[in-house]
Amino acid sequence: MIPSVLPTYSRAPLHFVKGEGSWLIEEDGRRFLDLGSGIAVAALGHSNPIVVNALTDQAQKLWHVSNLYEIPQQQALADALVDATFADTVFFTNSGTESTELGVKMVRKYWYEKGQPDRVEIITFTGAFHGRSSAAIAAAPTEKMVKGFGPLLPGFKQLPFGDLDALKAAVTDKTAAILIEPIQGEGGIHVLPDDHMKALRQICDDTGTLLIFDEIQCGMGRTGRLFAHEWAGVTPDVMLVAKGIGGGFPLGAVLATEDAASGMVAGTHGSTYGGNPLGCAVGLAVVRAITEDGFLDGVRRKASALRQKLEGLVADNPEIFEEVRGQGFMLGLRTKVAPVDFVKAGYAEELITVPAADNVVRLLPALTLSEDEIAEAIDRLDRTAKRMASA
């Protein structure tokens, strides 16, 4: 008999009833150190008073109005994002997938309005993940995600991640945009080197092609900068955001330059919930906290301490770990055991980590993780590795 919840997930038998900062409390009272943050979502940790207060204050006043009316919370959040980034304009969504959808629509509409309606192709990369809608699975067509779901949305071309020569050869007068994660998350924490980011921008500038960064996982302070592309000193034309921006409230955004967004006039796109007062009040609190003086300095400092300790952990447990990679608090431990087995063994040490492709266990802690919690994380990772080595 089919379960009452559609069985599309394989779930661990853990029932969390409360969250406090970097800790999740199980029904039975066990306290788990959470190095996953709900997959890079709870950027400020669980039950952070900053977001709890933003949510409850707004909840007392007004939860929802339609985008038929002006929404001051949405205006304030858009202004804050425009102030802090390359972007001139923002559309709010409820999830990463919806941000991908609009990104695809926006770049196609751009070329249509420029009188090049055939310029529809979007180039993506192996190992990418952009969500689960029909456009998003066409953009990153792994077998498990696309098999049986055809016909796929046409107009996507996938190239090897990081192969600039292949990219140069693939961009034609049919290419609307290049869509890439500056750091692949689900694909196994692959960081696109700065010189590749710069070369991508150059190829786009030379050909007029639009550049879309999917910063749904690597953005919102995760790498120690507000957005990961800032490290390379290049900017996109369009950027997809979600996960961390709501701190746990379903919120996403598409940021764009005025030119890239120029085709999106009244009536061309919309969302019932996207940008509603509740979501935007929370999003504004998150953005303000992350952009506050010193916050990202703290993330960088703590992340480099964690990184250093992880190098030691890998060296101490060569039968389990191969390497640590990533940037800031977006880290991957490449394992010699199956990552799902490592994640499961972690549960016995009251530790939450997240598996990814390419034999990687992801560490995506809250940006508020403390020095003491870093030491605790290393301890628990080490105990998990020893547990697996002796099994």
Ligand X SMILES: *Cc1c(COP(=O)(O)O)cnc(C)c1O
Interface residues with ligand X (CB under 6 A) are 95-97, 100, 129-131, 181, 185-186, 214, 216-217, 242-243
Q: How far is the CB of 223 from ligand X (least distance, A)?
A: 13
Pick the closer one to ligand X by CB: 119 or 130. Answer: 130
- Name the residue with the smallest CB distance to ligand X: 96
Q: How far is the CB of 19 from ligand X (least distance, A)?
A: 19
Q: How far is the CB of 117 from ligand X (least distance, A)?
A: 27
Q: How far is the CB of 296 from ligand X (least distance, A)?
A: 20
Pick the closer one to ligand X by CB: 185 or 320. Answer: 185
Pick the closer one to ligand X by CB: 225 or 243. Answer: 243
Q: How far is the CB of 140 from ligand X (least distance, A)?
A: 8
**What secondary structure, in 3-state letters, does the chain show?**
CCCCCCCCCCCCCCCEEEEEECEEEECCCCEEEECCHHHHCCCCCECCHHHHHHHHHHHHHCCCCCCCCCCHHHHHHHHHHHHHCCCCEEEEECCHHHHHHHHHHHHHHHHHHCCCCCCCEEEEECCCCCCCCHHHHHHCCCHHHHCCCCCCCCCEEEECCCCHHHHHHHCCCCEEEEEECCEECCCCCEECCHHHHHHHHHHHHHHCCEEEEECCCCCCCCCCCCCHHHHHCCCCCEEEECHHHHECECCEEEEECCCCCCCCCCCCCCCCCCCCHHHHHHHHHHHHHHHCCCHHHHHHHHHHHHHHHHHHHHHHCCCCEEEEEEECCEEEEEECCCHHHHHHHHHHCCEECEEECCCEEEECCCCCCCHHHHHHHHHHHHHHHHHHHHC
- CA-nearest of 301, 277, 214, 290 to 247 is 290
Pick the closer one to ligand X by CB: 243 or 380. Answer: 243
Pick the closer one to ligand X by CB: 218 or 281. Answer: 218
Q: How far is the CB of 269 from ligand X (least distance, A)?
A: 17
Pick the closer one to ligand X by CB: 32 or 125. Answer: 125
Pick the closer one to ligand X by CB: 181 or 350. Answer: 181
Q: How far is the CB of 331 from ligand X (least distance, A)?
A: 15
Pick the closer one to ligand X by CB: 243 or 307. Answer: 243
Q: How far is the CB of 370 from ligand X (least distance, A)?
A: 25
